[in-house]
Amino acid sequence: MRRREYLYLVAPSVLVMFGLLVIPLVRTIQWSFERVRYGSPGTFVGLDNYRDALTDPRFGSAVAFTVVVTIAVVSVLVVGGYVLAVLVNGLGKMRPIVLGLLLVSYVVPGLIGGTMFSWLFNDNFGGIVNQVIRLVGLPEVLWFTDTWANRGLVAAAVVWSMIPFAMLVILAGLQGVPKEMLEAARMDGAGSLRTHWSVIAPSIRGVLGFVTLISIMDVLRLFDQLIPLSPQAVQIGNESLVLYIYNRAFLDGGQQLGLGSAMNVLLILLIVVMLLPFIRDTAREGRS
Amino acid sequence: MRTPATGPRLSPPSLRRGPLAAASTALVLVGLTACGAGSRTATSSAAEVPCEVEVAEPTTVNVLAYNSSAIDPFTNTMVASCTQGDLTVAHEPIDFDGQTQRTTATLAGEVGTYDVLETYGYIIPQLATEGSLLPLDDLVETYGEEYDLGALNEGMLEAMSYDGQLYAVPMQAQMFVMAYRQDAFEELGLEPPTTFAELREVSAALQESGQFEYPLALPLLASGDLATAYDAALGSLGVDYVDPETMTPNFDTPEAAQALEELKSLVPFMDPQVTTFDQPSVQQQMYNGDAAMAIMFSGRMNDLTLESNTQYAADFGFAPPPTVGEDGAQYSALSVDGWSIPTNSAVDPEVLFEVIATSVSQEASEEAVPAAFPARDGAVSEDSSPYAAAAIDAIDNAPAAEPFPWTAPIANETLPVVAQAMLDQITVEEATARMQEIATGVLADY
């Protein structure tokens, strides 16, 4: 390919990337040092926005909640996605139907899915889970006001909505594992569990890394599901970082664009820190 | 402190954030499938009224108004009636949160995106102070007779005014109304409570009857409605957030603590998760028969009377809300909605005003009943709906307005503290002390 052709083909992507990623990023960093209102130029305030964010106890609480939920949910997603993928991979003619059904929760928008999921636990809308709990004589669970019950509810909803993605990618990885390798393991006397642990999982390490990477990014941006699932998020310490940014910067017509930008920069740093090992692994995998 | 209430008390916007975001999405989807003339919301509630506004060249008037059963009739009338000739009136469906965001954004630029804004008494002082809205007195003077604007309720006009100038043409109002299960009350020989003390007694009787585990339902969502509830309780006790003469907050008064205590005293009679309940959740409790009493905005009452919503539709009775103390104003918040013209609109203000005046005409107002309580005197009579008599009583006995630019910021910033007190995370004393500090900080900007 000639250099000019290469430039022609690459230019649209570069332009889009520049317009939608680089410019907003630069502007976000710039605004994070300013006090900004809609329609007027910002005023330089140095590190005030960062100071405001970092000295707010809610910020620390939101970071802690987000990180804990991310670690817990991503762990379940990778393990659960792997198990589901193995089960689906073992299916015969039913595989496309089961796969289609499993993907439903992934294609439902987060807000709608979260609302429907909340109804399972809400007596106002039937609350099937609550009915089962009463049926077996267990004590009432305050899913929306008890901190840990609500965390479990939120985590379950996120897992429910995202596990099809993990399953689908891992399933593709499983289908690429050479049959000869599995046959060799069997001939060496490896049991099923041993084969998965020592042969299959390592051979799809790159795929698992990719699933982990994408899942971390998605869960760190947890926002829309919290609206129906945690209406009291602020008071019970279940406010995610993105929800916190929205609440502080924009709620009730707020115009804290500078503060919101500073918080977004901090969020980007957090994402980079959490993704660094996986990005390195994925890059290494790609090179090899 | 203030004198007994005669005018409307303005309500924080948080109370309007009733519908779940999902419901808003559903509303938008419904709107998208029911396009009308220039509007993308259902036009079944639109009255066709004469609108003879003339424009010299093709003109589009963009309207920003959130969708609700009380606002839609006026918006739809505006769109359906005034889209004619070279004039197009356009409205996109949106929820209240969206309206709030877009209002801020459109008013910030030199030329705004919208030409007619839905506003409400609570926000008028702030926008008027910022110079974002056009004073309408001259236009009322010019067109008042033609559009019979003299029939608009004086109190509602006052609620849309700031510093002696009118900034919005009122269309409708909402106030707290109490709904209760008449069948259960009759069976137990109970009367609708008129004070909070009676409310507790009646709630206890209903609870003891075994028919209702949690007989009382109030919208006390910790991230929204609770601010309205606290302000309503405070107003019922005759206290404003701030004494406007001395510019000192009133959270250090005994009434500020009493308002919190009174709200907390109702907790044993409500669902343990009541601080997650917005107005639709409260409606749902009534639909399901889980609660026997609810106090919420009048705009929510029509839904309770529809048999398609609940098997108890015929069993609901309606009464004015009780007072928090032994006397004084009722536990209520009066929210008046109106139409404003932003100063940064490029369209001729006279054209915009005529479009607005058309939407609040006598015919359009009558068409909006019973979903709305129109601003035109006489549009609602005691026979207009099962809850009209209660609404008329409530509108006359709501706490007085707080038409000041600091009201909204104080309500928003003290909300987390009220929530903490309701959830017993802090004591009432700590809460009032913190609110006093927050309000003092807010007032420093004025």
pLDDT digits 0-9 by tens, B323-336: 999 999 999 998 89
Q: How far apart are CA B343 and CA A128, in angstroms?
A: 52
Mean pLDDT of chain B: 88
Residue B23 has pLDDT above 60, yes or no: no
Residue matched to tokens 């067109």: B143
Compute the average pLDDT of residues A58-72: 94
On whether residue B9 sits in a domain, the answer given is no
Summarize the confidence of residues A186-204 as an average pLDDT.
Answer: 89
| B175 vs B190: CA distance, rounded Å | 24
Answer yes or no: is A259 within a domain. yes
B294 and B346 housed in the same domain: no
Interface with A, mutate which of B221, B276, B290, B445 (most A CBs under 10 A): B276
Residues B329, B422 within the same domain? yes
**Per residue in B34-55, pLDDT tens?**
333 344 444 555 677 888 888 9
Asked if A39 and B103 come within 8 Å (Cβ–Cβ), the reply is: no
Question: What is the pLDDT averaged over residues B252-265?
Answer: 97
pLDDT in tens, B98-153: 898 899 889 988 899 999 999 998 889 989 998 999 999 999 999 999 999 999 99
Average pLDDT over residues A18-32: 92
Give the mean model confidence (pLDDT) for residues A165-184: 91
- Render the burial of B307-329: b for 16+ CB within 10 Å, e for the rest: eeebebbebbbbbbbbbbbeebb
Residue in chain A nearest B286 by alpha carbon: A124
Nearest chain B residue to A114 by CA: give it: B22
Q: Contact B425/A235, CB-based, under 8 Å?
A: yes
Of B25, B108, B276, the CB nearest to A112: B25
Q: What is the pLDDT of residue A3?
A: 84
Tell me the pLDDT band of B30, cut-offs 50, 70 and 90.
very low
Reading phi first (left if > 0) and then psi (alpha if -120 to 50, else beta), residue A197 is in alpha
Contact: B284, A255; criterion CB under 8 Å: no
Q: Do A235 and B290 touch (CB under 8 A)?
A: no
Of B73, B70, B131, nearest to B298 by C-alpha is B70
Closest CA to A86 of A199, A254, A239: A199
Amino acid at B12: P
Where is pLDDT greater, at B39 or B183?
A: B183
**A68 pLDDT higher than 70:** yes
Question: Under the phi-then-psi rule, with left for phi > 0, alpha for psi from -120 to 50, and beta for the rest, what region is A134?
Answer: alpha
Q: In the 8-state DSSP scheme, what is residue B329? A: S
Q: What is the pLDDT of residue A95?
A: 87
A146 C-beta neighbours (distance < 10 Å), count: 16
Question: B407 and chain A: CB distance < 8 Å anywhere?
Answer: no
- pLDDT band of residue B408 (cuts 50, 70, 90) is confident
pLDDT, tens only, A86-97: 999 888 888 889
CB proximity B118 to A under 8 Å: no
How far apart (Å, rounded) are the C-alpha atoms in residues B330 and B5?
9
Q: What is the pLDDT of residue B193?
A: 97
Query: Do B42 and B109 belong to one domain?
Result: yes
Mean pLDDT (chain A) is 90
Please provide the DSSP assignment of B289-319 as one string.
TS-SEEEEEGGGHHHHT-TTT-TTGGGEEEE
B285 to chain A: closest CA residue: A124
Nearest C-alpha in B relative to A36: B108
Whether the upstream peptide bond of residue B386 has omega within 30° of 0, thus cis, is no
User: Is pLDDT above 70 for B14?
Assistant: no
How far apart are alpha carbons B26 and B30 in whole angstroms? 6
Q: How far is CA B257 from the centre of its chain?
A: 25
Per the structure, how many domains does chain B have? 2
**Shortest Cα distance from B412 to chain A (angstroms)?**
8
Residue A37 in domain: yes
Task: Flag the least confident range among A29-38, A52-61, A166-175, A251-260.
Answer: A251-260
Among A25-29, B186-190, B405-409, name the one with the lowest average pLDDT: B405-409
For chain B, helix, strand, coil in percent to 5 are: 45, 15, 45
Same domain, B159 and B190: no
Q: What is the pLDDT of residue A253?
A: 66
Domain that residue A183 falls in: 32-287
In this model, does residue B27 exceed pLDDT 80?
A: no
Residue A17, in any domain of the structure: no
Nearest-by-Cβ selection for A232 from B109, B276, B288:
B276
Mean pLDDT on A224-243? 93
Look up residue B329 and give its two tokens.
Answer: 């104003």
Residues B341 and B329 in one domain: no
Who has greater pLDDT, A282 or A142? A142
- Report the pLDDT value the prediction gives residue A93, as an integer from 0 to 100: 85
CA dist., res. B119 & res. B116, Å (int): 9
In angstroms, rounded to a whole number, what is the distance separating the alpha carbons of residues B428 and B258?
A: 9
CB within 8 Å: B420 and A253: no
Asked if residue A13 is part of any domain, the answer here is no
Output the six-digit token pair for B384. Answer: 């207009």
Q: What is the distance of C-alpha B90 from the center of its chain?
A: 24
Burial B90-120 (b: 16+ CB within 10 A, else e): bbbbbbbbbbbbbbbbbbbeeebebbbbbbb
pLDDT at B25 over 80: no
Do B204 and B317 fall within a single domain?
yes
Q: Does some domain include residue B384?
A: no
Query: What CATH number is associated with residue A283?
Result: 1.10.3720.10
**Is the same domain home to B181 and B310?**
yes
Are B117 and B255 contained in the same domain?
no
Which residues are registered as beta bridge partners of B316?
A: B181
Residues B328 and B351 in one domain: no
Nearest to A162 by CA among A105, A79, A241, A239: A105
Residues of B in contact with A111 (CB under 8 A): 21-22, 25
Residue A288: both structure tokens together? 């090899």
* Burial group, residue B413, by CB count within 10 angstroms (0-12, 13-18, 19+): middle
Predicted confidence (pLDDT) at residue A283 exceeds the cutoff of 80: no
pLDDT of residue B389: 93
Q: How confident is the model at residue A252 (pLDDT cuts 50, 70, 90)?
A: low
Exposure class string for A95-104: b at 16+ Cβ within 10 A, else e: eeeebeebee
Q: Is B7 among the domain residues?
A: no
The C-alpha atoms of residue B358 and residue A134 are separated, in whole angstroms, by 56
Residue of B nearest to A111 (CA): B22
Task: Tell me what ipTM this predicted complex has.
Answer: 0.78
CB contact under 8 A, B108 and A124: no
Q: What is the DSSP letter of B15?
A: G
Spatial separation of the C-alpha atoms in residues A222 and A148, rounded to whole Å: 17
Is A12 within a domain?
Answer: no
CA distance A116 to chain B (A): 9
Between A268-282, B2-16, B193-207, the lowest mean confidence (pLDDT) is in B2-16
Question: At B46, which CATH number?
Answer: 3.40.190.10
Q: Does B285 touch chain A if contact means CB atoms closer than 8 Å? A: yes
Structural domain contains residue A1: no
Same domain for B97 and B24: yes
Tell whether B126 lies on the interface with A, counting CB pairs under 8 A: no
Taking CA–CA distances from B420, the nearest residue in chain A reads A235
Q: Do the strands B59-64 and B116-120 form a parallel or antiparallel pair, or are they unpaired?
A: parallel
Asked if B409 and B276 sit in the same domain, the reply is yes
Q: Does residue A263 lie within any of the structural domains?
A: yes
**pLDDT at residue B440 in the model:** 96
Residue B55: alpha-carbon gap to chain centroid: 34
The verdict on residue A18 lying in a domain is no
- Give the count of Cβ contacts less than 8 A between chain A and B: 81
pLDDT at A249: 84
Q: Which domain does B27 fall in, by range?
A: 15-173+335-379
Q: What percent of chain A has pLDDT over 70?
A: 98
Q: Is residue B387 part of a domain?
A: no
Nearest to A231 among B103, B276, B290 (CB): B276
> What number is the average pLDDT over the span B170-175?
93
Q: Domain count of chain A?
A: 1
Mean pLDDT on B18-36: 35
- Chain-centroid distance, C-alpha B150: 23
Residues B223 and B359 in one domain: no
What is the mean predicted confidence (pLDDT) over A64-68? 94
Q: In Å, what is the CA distance from B446 to each residue of A32, A230, B124?
A: 26, 35, 16
* Nearest alpha carbon to residue B347 among B38, B108, B52, B63: B63
How close B48 comes to chain A (CA, Å)?
Answer: 34
Interchain proximity B425–A37, CB inside 8 Å? no
% of chain A at pLDDT higher than 90: 59
